[in-house]
Structure 1
């Protein structure tokens, strides 16, 4: 079995991910569900041969030193993100299929607020959500919009580089961690000396990266990044809590001044047919939101989102209800992904009394 054939079949079946493991057939994830691509199993030797042929010398060295290697590559016009890792004496791999082109925000159904944030000259914008929720794709769409409409320098720091951007109106410089710089924090410090207008940080993993990102936003840059958090409120708390107690008041003050918005996303199964659809929670940094962050009253941010439609805000549950009313998701999915299932059920019952379907 050839690796290229596996890729072709996975793309043909609209898979989002491919998993290869010794003594197992190739597995793919379709609409969030894992399924066998074929019944033919891969031997350990066969799999090692496939995967080692895919690795560059640098990636082979990373695999040797760290037990895993992350990288991006293209095959027959399709971009992939790969993680090859050791499994005992053998190797395994997970591939994310990124597609042929950078998607448009409108095709992803991005909230209007996100498209407006792409026009900002400075500040901090965060895209959050669980692994596999499409955060990288959302940021790629935002970068593409900036690239097509603004003259400037866009600098991305990624591990690995997933979508390749051609310089259009802007100069786009894409640096890969750890190939071009050992750590995000180190690359971000260097970025401030590279005259960027927009900085994309693939993921804020530690205190130093978060601190430097805030500083970059304070000094006149638009900074875009991701966090593996489940909502806007937990995102703010996470960013503050990573600092020692004696620094947290200062960080809340800085964050309240530079934060422009947080979007949290989830991918849900569509009501009918194949495919998935995104639901979004949006927090916009209004004066009231900035005040709550500064004063450490993050528990009140949720009510700001609930009542903030005029500022293009919404909670995840409000967006789930919107998708349900549009017949895009079913009732089971609505309740499964709701942050407050009981509250959603009450709204459903009330809505049905008022003539909802």
Structure 2
């Protein structure tokens, strides 16, 4: 049993995620439910270590030792790419691997309203895609970026942790930077991006005050910025951005945010009624 054979089995079962933790067999998330993988043994700490260490880049091994968790992407040859999170729990390794579809879906494929296309026609401003973890934010952002890539001659820079969808150069030039490998932090990468002649910047996650502040400034100064937040609705998204700043700065940020925000997309995945699966 190796990790790629487990990933192959998980894809054949239609799973979005593969969980590895001591004391259980491999567990799959299928249509939102967690199910044990059939005909697989209960995992020990040594078994999980043997599965994960061969795919762990050297720099990530060091980071895992220092921090106790790491994020990176893994390509299973001839199968797909996966977003990998390895972490320590009760002194042992555990892991969740999420399937990254190889094909970038269109807005129509995702069932998203056509009005979102208007965001891709803007030349400046801030677009937020928000929702809980696992709600498809990265997939929706990839669809929006792909429209720009297909239709406009721009320089697109994506800042992600880790890189999920791979964008080929089409009409646009696309540079994709992975936090932890290509840059130390979202704030550092975003600050650098402003010196790299960008037209469009994708910020995989606005995690802290510094990143939010630079993103708003970038949108103010003539760049189109797409970013995500882990919030449940549009009102909460606005509050989250403002509340990141100290009280004496909040009024100024309200003015800047109001001047730069182009739109907020709030989404979640819900069970389908026509067939098994979930939809945005």
TM (norm. structure 1) is 0.76
Post-superposition CA distance 1:267-290 (Å, at most 9, x none) = 011114311111xxxxxxxxxxxx
The total of aligned residue pairs comes to 278
Post-superposition CA distance 1:327-356 (Å, at most 9, x none) = xxxxxxxxxxxxxxxxxxxxxxxxxxxxxx
Post-superposition CA distance 1:241-293 (Å, at most 9, x none) = 11111111111111111100000001011114311111xxxxxxxxxxxxxxx
Task: Choose which of 120, 133, 136 in structure 2 pairs with 1:134.
Answer: 136
Deviation at 1:89? 3.5
Matches for 1:55-94 after TM superposition, within 5 Å: 55-75=56-76, 76-94=78-96
Structure 1 partner of 2:33: 33
Higher relative contact order (CA 8 A, sep 6+): 2
Match of 1:52, SS?
A: helix
Task: Choose which of 222, 225, 228 in structure 2 pairs with 1:226.
Answer: 228
Equivalents in 1 of 2:147, 2:3: separation in Å? 34
Match of 1:107, SS?
A: helix
Structure 2 partner of 1:178: 180
Equivalents in 1 of 2:146, 2:179: separation in Å? 21
Match of 1:14, SS?
A: coil
Structure 1 partner of 2:215: 213
Deviation at 1:138? 0.6
Equivalents in 2 of 1:126, 1:21: separation in Å? 34
Deviation at 1:104? 1.4
CA contact under 8 A between 2:234 and 2:265: conserved in structure 1? yes
Post-superposition CA distance 1:166-192 (Å, at most 9, x none) = 111111000111211111111111111
CA contact under 8 A between 2:8 and 2:79: conserved in structure 1? no
Pick the structure with more helix per residue: 1
Post-superposition CA distance 1:196-225 (Å, at most 9, x none) = 000000000111111100100011000000
Structure 2 partner of 1:304: none
Structure showing greater radius of gyration is 1
Unaligned stretches of 5+ residues in structure 1: 279-357
Unaligned stretches of 5+ residues in structure 2: none
Matches for 1:167-316 after TM superposition, within 5 Å: 167-278=169-280
